[in-house]
Amino acid sequence: MTDLSGLFDPDRIAVIGATDREGSVGRALLENLATFDGEIVPVNPNRETVLDADCYPSIEAAPNPTAIDLAVVAVPATVAVDVVRQVGEQGIKNVVVITAGFSETDAEGRRRERELAAVAAEYDLDLVGPNSVGVISTATGLNGTFLEGRPPEGSLSLLSQSGAFIAAVIGWATQHNIGFNDVVSLGNETVLDEVDFLYEWDDDPGTDVILAYVEDIDEGRAFIETARDVTASTPVVVIKSGRTEAGAAAAKSHTGSMAGSDDAYDAAFEQAGVIRAEDIQDVFDFGQVLAGQPRPDGDNVAVVTNGGGPGVLTTDAVGDSSLDLAEFGVETRTALDELLPAAADSTNPLDIIGDADLARFEAALDTVLADKGVDGAVVLSVPTALYEFAALAETIGDLQAEHGTPVVACLMGGEPADRAADTLAQYGIPNYFDPSRAVASLETLADYGAVLDRAYEPPAEFEVDRKRASEILAQTDDRDVDYLGVEAMALLDAYGIPTPPGELVESPEAAAAVAERIGGPVVMKIASPEIVHKSDIGGVEVGVPTDAVADTYRTILDRARSHAPETSLLGVRVEGLVDPAESTETIIGAKRDPQFGHLLMFGLGGIFVQIYEDTAFRIAPVSEHEARAMTDEIRAAPMLRGTRGRTPADIDRIVETIQRVSQLLTDFPAITELDINPLVVSPEGVSAIDVRVRVDTADLSPPD
Amino acid sequence: MTDLSGLFDPDRIAVIGATDREGSVGRALLENLATFDGEIVPVNPNRETVLDADCYPSIEAAPNPTAIDLAVVAVPATVAVDVVRQVGEQGIKNVVVITAGFSETDAEGRRRERELAAVAAEYDLDLVGPNSVGVISTATGLNGTFLEGRPPEGSLSLLSQSGAFIAAVIGWATQHNIGFNDVVSLGNETVLDEVDFLYEWDDDPGTDVILAYVEDIDEGRAFIETARDVTASTPVVVIKSGRTEAGAAAAKSHTGSMAGSDDAYDAAFEQAGVIRAEDIQDVFDFGQVLAGQPRPDGDNVAVVTNGGGPGVLTTDAVGDSSLDLAEFGVETRTALDELLPAAADSTNPLDIIGDADLARFEAALDTVLADKGVDGAVVLSVPTALYEFAALAETIGDLQAEHGTPVVACLMGGEPADRAADTLAQYGIPNYFDPSRAVASLETLADYGAVLDRAYEPPAEFEVDRKRASEILAQTDDRDVDYLGVEAMALLDAYGIPTPPGELVESPEAAAAVAERIGGPVVMKIASPEIVHKSDIGGVEVGVPTDAVADTYRTILDRARSHAPETSLLGVRVEGLVDPAESTETIIGAKRDPQFGHLLMFGLGGIFVQIYEDTAFRIAPVSEHEARAMTDEIRAAPMLRGTRGRTPADIDRIVETIQRVSQLLTDFPAITELDINPLVVSPEGVSAIDVRVRVDTADLSPPD
């Protein structure tokens, strides 16, 4: 991996395009860099000095140019590529191109960006931008942006595909005392992108949590693999915009890039251990709590409050979350009964009631945090005449440090609460007015704890008949359409996915023979890649007795011809009737995503997918663990696991089938769509009843 | 309705329990009341002066006691009832009892509260509390609470069943400039409750929006009727805690009251036009926008921004909401194309790009708000060197006032954004850092607009055989169990709810005769209120040919006897086989809720209810409009309306059936549970295939 520390920790910085013209980017840069620890070297061919400092006409004219660590480029677009070349010629590796007017504009801009990429490649530059608002490193006082204000020092590092996002956040972060380590505006990502900074910051002791605003991720697979590595030691919180259809359209018009489907992003983030935030507030709430509080050992939280109402609201938020309300142990309850007044219950949520003084609060919280069954706590207080929030904040901080259990606070009120929040922040404890945010933060700690508990497990490799699969897929090569219909049943068979016994035949006699061999009654289905809804045209007959098979063959073919005379008919598939007791119809589907590769889907059939969207997604290849998680996370999972006396379905075989499909997709990137619908699952196993495959024939490699 | 203005706009206030003892409630009250416009009369038998004012030993000893308008009582619980009696004797009507130690404590407290209720009734007192933290009226400078701080003046009025909630909110509201008119802490609600204040504030010109924190609503029906009236002119926003199972348990332990199911509250709020907030932030966000901005004409919103990323995030929030992104008209787009630089698109979300100055922002926003297809707008800006937020705030305010279209703002940043927010607030425009809150606020405006568009429609009255129904229900009177099984099919029939033709018979011969009359094959079901899952014991046979009916009768009865020898068997119901083409199984259910009466449920059967919880609830009686809404709002509604070539189900008959069930429940409050499961619906109509009814026999009135 490239070492990018020169971007954030340089000794000497050249500002190319330095100027003292009011309102210019070059001047704003210089002013922001005034706080930088090291040396600033202004470069501008039209000035001898800027802001009373010597200015050099070019980078090579600067003193000792090869010893410059970072060049920030803010020159007109027309000369930017030349300037970057000059930087490269001096052996300077780190470049931030603020200049806009590249691929975000027009054809001329796209051409210019290709030139920039070539120059960067030639000199092996670590280049941020172009069209970046710059980089910030609070530790070195480096504010290489033209934005107003600078964020406070801290341990969050932020990357953003939107400069406006950074502009919006800085002032607000300052006001809310949200501290940053490094910040980078990625701009057009000609060279460096989100993946590079994930690695950089994972290794950076100054960064506790990585935050990211992204609109699209070009290198989906690289992102998943990098992020999976990184999140094993450093939490990553991402806000991905363009979630909704409207948002995706807006993002496309904004960045010109076509983002993959949001289901793919969701799956990728899940598989990579990335925590996804839905709104801006959450990004920073989650970042702060992950930076400040330890991982909980479990999901059981305590609520300690001096006000009943807010305690109930907090309990509701716990009920809405994946967390549970801890049940206090007997010892805890006995101790609480002793220290609380008679009117207070020693149950969770623990309302120590409005007349609590600081001593009671401290004793109660101490007791609760000592309970081994308490994995985290929300501490609430409404204002009271009996103690100052500032004192309570110290008590909470000390007790958290003593017990090591994660704690978040809701000291609810105005200015005094804000002052107490500053105290709590020194202990790494976030404070919220709204209990729902406090609970969401604790939930995020638990979510990240679950990420840390994961062990990465490579996908299994099954023995399959890859050659046969390759031949079947090649059939599409000389066809008008790129679909395979029931003739793809053999493809599943080649990958060890159970299908009913059967065969594709091309004559009534052959059909009868197959039926005889299988034993009737049988199912007969027209085989034509152009007939998508076979049943709608009478192309499927179920339960055909052996002696009617030949006639039925003719009938089905006649129907198909009268429905679509032009259609290429491959014959009829004759197969055994699958109708096990207690069966359920499921679907395994896949679609090739432009960013992430194959997106696998598992769910129940029909209305469950269409109306209830009860589906689970993963990016292929999937491990056994991931395949199993897909069967667990659909809402209908209890149905598969057996409810009200039903025998459970053979989940192991479903899990294996998902993995085999995953292997098929990975082996054949040319597959753009695949639908096994239905996959009938029962206590006896699984059986793929119908399949449809779409292939990008241009991508097909010749059979091995 | 009682006129409660004396509580908020008195001329003279007696403070009973006035004292200058540091840290006491009596002293905090006096200090808070120092800002009051009128006269304060301290009462305390143990003091001659308090805080340098004359103090009177009793209310009757005070000068001109009958001319006191409001008594605030903060005396020990042991003397509180006597003190309130003395207040009543002087003819003072308005009383706020701060004193705690009533029903929230123990048996003695509950006895005390009954006495207080009796005294209040004797003197016809408008009494708040006991166990209240007090009342506030900012217009008259009246802060009759013992809480620290006071909220700024404004047009929100707040009622709360939690004093702690008020304590938490006051300082925070001050800091965020959220202005209140009246605030009341309801305490134990011995006399006045939420319903009283809804009416009071609806008539109060100083109140634009009513906010409420509630944990339970005792008089559910009265609340619905009052709130329905009130919301037709004044928006009501409620946060109801105890939403989740854990929260409800916490609320119960906190207030001692058993709240109804959350589904009942949801239904009641929906029917009453009350807007439900999920967290504290929302309560005030929604309150402020409803107080400050007009109702939109529709759901189409525009997004205008100088930053692409935040614009996409906003568009995502719109996509998540019930709002739509407006499509700009041709005129609008032409005008925008003219005034924007070439790099900017004239589409919604409108990104006027980062180099926009104030003139461009103004022109763009003016153009967008002039578009008749734009019903509301979110205006975003990230900080820029090109204009001050303060100036933009005025521009936004002026344009909103000029066009009359509702606008919310996201001027995103730190201190400058806060100052701009103050300016925007003067125009009634809320400002948010997070776009998702801005969109939620616009959505609330649209939601309330829909409430205003409703016309209340009384439930229909169908002609039914009430006498027969009464007789059927009375059957439970002499039974061990309070259930009716298939014998309740006749109950449905009495209320005009379609059931298959059939009859309950008590012999094989009678069964055969019924089958002969109906025409076979028939369905036969054991009739026993004690056999809940009839199929599980072989108590149901479907498709019995006419000639096998007598034998099947004997078989079914044998099975039932062998399964449960003690069970009372009423015979067998023989009915026609209902299996229309394109049928769907639905459920109509009902449960009597302790607060609201009968809660009606409609949904699809089986897994759809159990796993997907795809159900719609309303409190009975329902109007035709409400019944129709139930069929509309389940997620499976498209299935009923016909998808992929399916003929639509007979929705009108479903709607009528829901109304008929509603009438049955309203006519017989003794029914505690009712389940029509399944109600088979098809293009041809509906048919109730099975029913189970539970009756509170103690509530049964004799047949008319």
Number of alpha carbons in the 13 Å side-chain half-sphere of residue A557: 17
CB-closest option in A241, A317, A614 to B309: A241
Q: Which of residues 85-124 of A touch B (CB under 8 A)?
A: 104-105
Read off the tokens for B468.
């027969």
Read off the tokens for A183.
């910040």
DSSP run (H or E) holding B383: none
Burial B351-369 (b: 16+ CB within 10 A, else e): bbbbebeeebbbbbbbbbb
CB-closest option in B148, B250, B310 to A168: B310
Q: Say what the pTM is.
A: 0.94
Q: Which residues pair with A272 in a beta bridge?
A: none
pLDDT of residue B241: 92
Phi/psi at A417 (5° precision): -65, -40
CB-closest option in B28, B278, B309 to A213: B309
- What span, in angstroms and rounded, lies between the C-alpha atoms of A423 and A177? 11
Specify the amino acid at residue B298: G
Q: Any CB–CB contact under 8 A between A463 and chain B?
A: no
CB-closest option in A147, A165, A638 to B310: A165
> Dihedral of the CA atoms A398, A401, A403, A407 (nearest 10)?
90
**Minimal Cα–Cα distance from A421 to chain B, Å?**
13
Phi/psi at B19 (5° precision): -160, 160
The CATH superfamily assigned to B459-500+579-704 is ATP-grasp fold, B domain (3.30.470.20)
- Helices B245-255, A308-320: crossing angle, 10 deg rounding: 170
- What span, in angstroms and rounded, lies between the C-alpha atoms of B10 and A691? 79
Give the ranges where A371-412 is alpha helix by DSSP (H). 389-403
pLDDT range class, residue A106, cuts 50, 70, 90: confident
**Element counts in chain B: helices (H) and strands (E):** 24, 30
Distance between alpha carbon A125 and the CA centroid of its chain, in Å? 29
Q: Any CB–CB contact under 8 A between A306 and chain B?
A: yes
Task: Work out the average pLDDT over A166-192.
Answer: 94
Contacts of A224 (CB under 8 A, 6+ apart): A268, A271, A272, A596, A619
Same topology between domain B5-207 and domain B293-453: yes
Write the pLDDT tens digit of every residue in A383-404. Answer: 998 999 999 999 999 999 999 9
Read off the tokens for A447.
């979510």
Contact B171 A417 (CB under 8 A): yes
| Greatest pairwise CA separation for chain B in angstroms | 101
Handedness of CA B264, B266, B271, B272 (dihedral sign): positive
3-state secondary structure string across B657-683: HHHHHHHHHHHCCCEEEEEEEEEEEEC
Read off the tokens for B508.
């094989």
pLDDT of residue A535: 79
- What span, in angstroms and rounded, lies between the C-alpha atoms of B446 and B299? 6
| CATH number at A584-699 | 3.30.470.20
**Minimal Cα–Cα distance from B616 to chain A, Å?**
15
Which among B527, B495, B550 is positioned nearest to B665, based on CA atoms? B495
- What span, in angstroms and rounded, lies between the C-alpha atoms of A545 and A562? 25
User: Are B399 and B362 within 8 A, CB to CB?
Assistant: yes
Query: Which residues on chain B are in Cβ contact (under 8 Å) with A643?
Result: 610
Burial A241-252 (b: 16+ CB within 10 A, else e): bbbbebbbbbbb
Query: Which residues on chain B are in Cβ contact (under 8 Å) with A318?
Result: 244, 246-247
Contact B168 A315 (CB under 8 A): no
Which among B494, B517, B514 is positioned nearest to B506, based on CA atoms? B514
Contact A383 B310 (CB under 8 A): no
The chain-wide mean pLDDT, for chain A, equals 92
Q: Any CB–CB contact under 8 A between A460 and chain B?
A: no
Phi/psi at A29 (5° precision): -60, -50
pLDDT of residue B480: 65
DSSP summary character for residue B567: P
Specify the amino acid at residue B548: A
User: Are B188 and B131 within 8 A, CB to CB?
Assistant: yes
CATH class for domain B501-577?
Answer: alpha beta
Taking the CB of residue A669, how many other CB atoms lie within 10 A of it? 14
pLDDT of residue B37: 87
Contact B278 A436 (CB under 8 A): yes
Which among B22, B73, B82 is positioned nearest to B187, based on CA atoms? B73
- What span, in angstroms and rounded, lies between the C-alpha atoms of A76 and A100? 8
Contact A246 B28 (CB under 8 A): no
Q: Any CB–CB contact under 8 A between A149 and chain B?
A: yes
Contacts of B203 (CB under 8 A, 6+ apart): none
- What span, in angstroms and rounded, lies between the C-alpha atoms of B272 and A325? 33
Instruction: Please name the residue of chain A whose CA is at the shortest distance from the CA of residue B177.
Output: A414
Contact B309 A412 (CB under 8 A): no
Above pLDDT 90, what percent of chain A?
75
User: Are B101 and B112 within 8 A, CB to CB?
Assistant: yes
Rounded (5°) CA angle B241-B242-B248: 160
Specify the amino acid at residue A158: L
| CATH number at A503-577 | 3.30.1490.20
Query: Which residues on chain A are in Cβ contact (under 8 Å) with B316?
Result: 241-244, 246-247
* pLDDT greater than 80 at residue A65: yes
Burial B197-210 (b: 16+ CB within 10 A, else e): bbbbbbebebbbbb
Query: Which residues on chain A are in Cβ contact (under 8 Å) with B325?
Result: 246
Phi/psi at B544 (5° precision): -80, 125
Read off the tokens for A492.
């599943």
DSSP run (H or E) holding A14: strand A12-16
Read off the tokens for B348.
């919604």
Phi/psi at B302 (5° precision): -105, 150
In CATH terms, the fold of domain A293-453 is Rossmann fold (3.40.50)
pLDDT of residue B29: 94
- What span, in angstroms and rounded, lies between the C-alpha atoms of B422 and B437? 17
Query: Which residues on chain A are in Cβ contact (under 8 Å) with B414?
Result: 149, 170-175
**Minimal Cα–Cα distance from A413 to chain B, Å?**
5
Q: Which residues pair with A238 in a beta bridge?
A: A212, A276
Burial B580-605 (b: 16+ CB within 10 A, else e): beebbebbbbbbbbebbbbbbbbbbe
DSSP summary character for residue A175: H
**Minimal Cα–Cα distance from B252 to chain A, Å?**
9
User: Are A218 and A189 within 8 A, CB to CB?
Assistant: yes
First to last CA, chain A: 34
Q: Which of residues 552-571 of B touch A (CB under 8 A)?
A: none
Read off the tokens for A390.
């500032």
Pairing of strands B209-214, B236-240: parallel
Write the pLDDT tens digit of every residue in A296-335. Answer: 999 999 999 999 999 999 999 999 999 999 999 999 999 9
Specify the amino acid at residue B195: V
DSSP A527-571: E-TT-SSTGGGT-EEEEE-GGGHHHHHHHHHHHHHHH-TT----E
Contact A316 B242 (CB under 8 A): yes
Query: Which residues on chain B are in Cβ contact (under 8 Å) with A309?
Result: 160-165, 213, 215, 241, 254
DSSP summary character for residue B322: S
Given the structure tokens 């801006």, which residue do they identify? A280
Taking the CB of residue B547, how many other CB atoms lie within 10 A of it? 11
DSSP summary character for residue B377: E
Burial class from Cβ neighbours inside 10 Å (0-12, 13-18, 19+) for residue A385 reads: middle
Query: Which residues on chain A are in Cβ contact (under 8 Å) with B585?
Result: none
Q: Within chain B, which residues score under 50 in pLDDT?
A: 256, 258-259, 703-704
Write the pLDDT tens digit of every residue in B335-377. Answer: 999 999 988 899 999 999 988 999 999 999 999 999 999 999 9
Read off the tokens for B618.
């309303």
Instruction: Please name the residue of chain A whose CA is at the shortest distance from the CA of residue B635.
Output: A611
Among A251-260, A381-390, A588-597, B412-421, the range scoring the smallest mean pLDDT is: A251-260
Query: Which residues on chain A are in Cβ contact (under 8 Å) with B249?
Result: 315
Q: Any CB–CB contact under 8 A between A607 and chain B?
A: yes
pLDDT range class, residue A119, cuts 50, 70, 90: very high
* pLDDT greater than 70 at residue A579: yes
Distance between alpha carbon B669 and the CA centroid of its chain, in Å? 22
The CATH superfamily assigned to A5-207 is NAD(P)-binding Rossmann-like Domain (3.40.50.720)
- What span, in angstroms and rounded, lies between the C-alpha atoms of A39 and A15? 11
Q: Any CB–CB contact under 8 A between B246 and chain A?
A: yes
3-state secondary structure string across A290-307: HHHCCCCCCCEEEEEECC
Contact A313 B279 (CB under 8 A): yes
Query: Which residues on chain A are in Cβ contact (under 8 Å) with B168?
Result: 307, 310, 382-383, 412-413, 433
Q: Give the number of beta-carbon pairs within 8 Å between A and B.
A: 260
DSSP summary character for residue B681: E
- What span, in angstroms and rounded, lies between the C-alpha atoms of A407 and A398? 11
- Helices A651-667, A466-474: crossing angle, 10 deg rounding: 60
User: How is chain A split into domains, by residue range?
Assistant: 5-207, 293-453, 503-577, 584-699
Instruction: Please name the residue of chain A whose CA is at the shortest distance from the CA of residue B173.
Output: A414
CB-closest option in B351, B435, B611 to A635: B611
- What span, in angstroms and rounded, lies between the C-alpha atoms of B178 and B287? 9
Max mean pLDDT among A16-30, A596-610, B473-487 falls in A16-30
Phi/psi at A236 (5° precision): -125, 125
**Minimal Cα–Cα distance from B689 to chain A, Å?**
21
- What span, in angstroms and rounded, lies between the C-alpha atoms of B456 and B458? 7
User: Are B298 and B336 within 8 A, CB to CB?
Assistant: no
Give the ranges where B404-432 is alpha helix by DSSP (H). 415-426
**Minimal Cα–Cα distance from B217 to chain A, Å?**
15
Q: Any CB–CB contact under 8 A between B346 and chain A?
A: no
- What span, in angstroms and rounded, lies between the C-alpha atoms of B209 and B237? 8
Query: Which residues on chain A are in Cβ contact (under 8 Å) with B304?
Result: none
CB-closest option in B242, B345, B414 to A171: B414
Q: Any CB–CB contact under 8 A between A453 and chain B?
A: no
Q: Which of A161, A313, A613 to mutate to probe the B interface, most B CBs <10 Å?
A: A313
